[in-house]
């Protein structure tokens, strides 16, 4: 079967199959095996086989039960290894299963888990804008902005209008095919190859390593240091922590302690008084400057009271979570609680 034929069969029978048992269903195995297999063959026939060291194909009819819509994605191994994060070209059906789209989409699950749905949507939409800017000629190559009602996260069946799908903002660009007038395999392959070229271009851009950001956000959340609100605020804390880790054991920090002492400037806690002489001299240095103006790597820093404060571990964590306000604002906020 050609890729076009398999895609049509999936689109035409999915809703009916959903009424039947998932386990062992022949359509589920069509989606898992034959769909990516047919795409791989089509690309090989077109003279542009996928390099398996760099890319992988993945598809899913659902996990343990039918999903709202099946998908088939191309992953660049250095960008993502699953549909839950990063970005990737993906085939997705739209509500009604009369159309299928090839879009440069994004995985949202990891980000949603870290920052919640609302902040994730804002961030995904900003990332889509960033991808469009960097890909430059997507419109010239026949792709459009949509909107596409494609994301399997949305309940596809219940969505009536494509522009009501909140997740469509996470699509950078794409193309829609009508199943009734689906182009042949060589035309589809040409579009997939164009999409992969954009994928390669975006992957070279270090600012597109979104999965790394998502992991750092998850880390902040686990540490209790994730500021509420936008992801932008959290990104600044990630940057700030990187900087503080870099200088943690340096002469600079020991000079800061000499200057500011070893009592927490926010709550007056002293490690030595609480835990004994073994903890004498322990305190953490927090860089005070607005985090968006942190010094570059290699910059010469001075241990001054205008650049640093010393904090106990609890206050240090809490000031990050608050988005790094100044000492007075932070103290007022803990006194109020």
Residue 286's CB is within 10 A of a number of other CB atoms, namely: 21
CA distance 102 to 109: 20
Q: Is 27 exposed, middle or buried (0-12, 13-18, 19+ CB in 10 A)?
A: buried
> Which residues are CB-neighbours of 278 under 8 A, at least 6 positions away?
none
Interface with Zn ion: number of residues (CB under 5 A): 7
Using CB under 5 A, which residues numbered 254 to 293 contact Zn ion?
Answer: 264, 266-267, 269, 286
- Using the minimum distance from each CB to Zn ion, give the nearer residue, 101 or 264: 264
Applying CB under 5 A, the span of 62-70, 93-101, 197-205, 313-321 interacting with Zn ion comes to: 313-321
As given in the structure block, the two tokens for residue 275 are 């835990």
- Using the minimum distance from each CB to Zn ion, give the nearer residue, 74 or 283: 283
| Least spacing, CB of residue 316 vs Zn ion, in Å | 6
- Using the minimum distance from each CB to Zn ion, give the nearer residue, 197 or 242: 242
* The one among 28, 50, 234, 315 contacting Zn ion by CB under 5 A: 315
Applying CB under 5 A, the span of 53-61, 65-73, 170-178, 305-313 interacting with Zn ion comes to: 305-313
* The one among 111, 119, 312, 318 contacting Zn ion by CB under 5 A: 312
Between β-strands 87-93 and 99-106, what pairing exists: parallel, antiparallel or unpaired? antiparallel
- Using the minimum distance from each CB to Zn ion, give the nearer residue, 19 or 245: 245
| Residue 72 β-bridge partners | 59, 91
- Using the minimum distance from each CB to Zn ion, give the nearer residue, 159 or 244: 244
Residues in contact with Zn ion, shown as a per-residue x/- string from 76 to 115 under the rule CB under 5 A: ----------------------------------------
- Using the minimum distance from each CB to Zn ion, give the nearer residue, 46 or 247: 247
Backbone dihedral region for residue 103 (phi beyond 0: left; psi -120 to 50: alpha; all else: beta): beta
Q: 333: helix, coil or strand? A: helix
| Least spacing, CB of residue 231 vs Zn ion, in Å | 19
CA distance 35 to 37: 5
- Using the minimum distance from each CB to Zn ion, give the nearer residue, 176 or 263: 263
CA distance 127 to 195: 17
| Least spacing, CB of residue 244 vs Zn ion, in Å | 5
Residues in contact with Zn ion, shown as a per-residue x/- string from 141 to 180 under the rule CB under 5 A: ----------------------------------------
- Asked whether the CA dihedral 104, 72, 151, 94 is positive or negative, the reply is positive
Evaluate whether 214 touches 221 at the Cβ level (below 8 Å): no
Residues that bind Zn ion (CB under 5 A): 264, 266-267, 269, 286, 312, 315
């Amino acid at each position: 079967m050609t890729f076009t034929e398999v895609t049509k069969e999936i689109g035409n029978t999915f809703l009916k199959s959903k009424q039947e048992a998932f386990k062992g269903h022949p359509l589920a195995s069509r989606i898992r095996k034959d769909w990516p297999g047919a795409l791989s063959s089509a690309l090989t026939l077109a003279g542009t086989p996928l390099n398996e060291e760099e890319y992988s194909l993945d598809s899913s009819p659902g996990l343990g039960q039918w999903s709202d819509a099946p998908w088939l994605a191309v992953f660049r191994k250095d960008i993502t290894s699953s549909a839950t994060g990063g970005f990737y070209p993906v085939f997705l059906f739209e509500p009604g299963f009369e159309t299928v789209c090839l879009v440069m989409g994004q995985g949202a699950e990891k980000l949603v888990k870290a920052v919640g749905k609302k902040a994730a949507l804002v961030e995904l939409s900003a990332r889509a804008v960033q991808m469009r800017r960097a890909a430059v000629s997507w419109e010239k190559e026949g792709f459009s902005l949509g909107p596409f009602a494609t994301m399997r996260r949305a309940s596809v069946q219940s969505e009536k209008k494509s522009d009501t799908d909140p997740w469509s903002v996470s699509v950078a660009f794409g193309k829609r095919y009508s199943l009734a007038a689906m182009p042949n395999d060589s035309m589809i392959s040409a579009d997939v190859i164009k999409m992969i070229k954009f994928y390669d271009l975006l992957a070279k851009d270090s600012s597109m390593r979104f999965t790394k950001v998502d992991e750092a956000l998850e880390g902040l959340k686990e540490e209790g240091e994730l500021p509420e609100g936008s992801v932008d605020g959290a990104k600044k804390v990630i940057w700030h922590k990187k900087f503080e880790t870099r200088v943690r054991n340096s002469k600079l920090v020991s000079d800061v302690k000499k200057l500011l002492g070893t009592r927490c400037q926010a709550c007056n806690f002293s490690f030595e008084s609480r835990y004994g002489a073994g903890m004498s001299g322990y305190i953490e240095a927090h860089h005070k400057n607005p985090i968006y103006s942190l010094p570059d790597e290699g910059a010469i820093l001075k241990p001054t009271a205008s650049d640093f404060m010393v904090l106990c571990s609890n206050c240090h964590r809490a000031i990050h979570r608050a988005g790094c306000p100044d000492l007075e604002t932070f103290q007022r906020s803990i006194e109020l609680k």
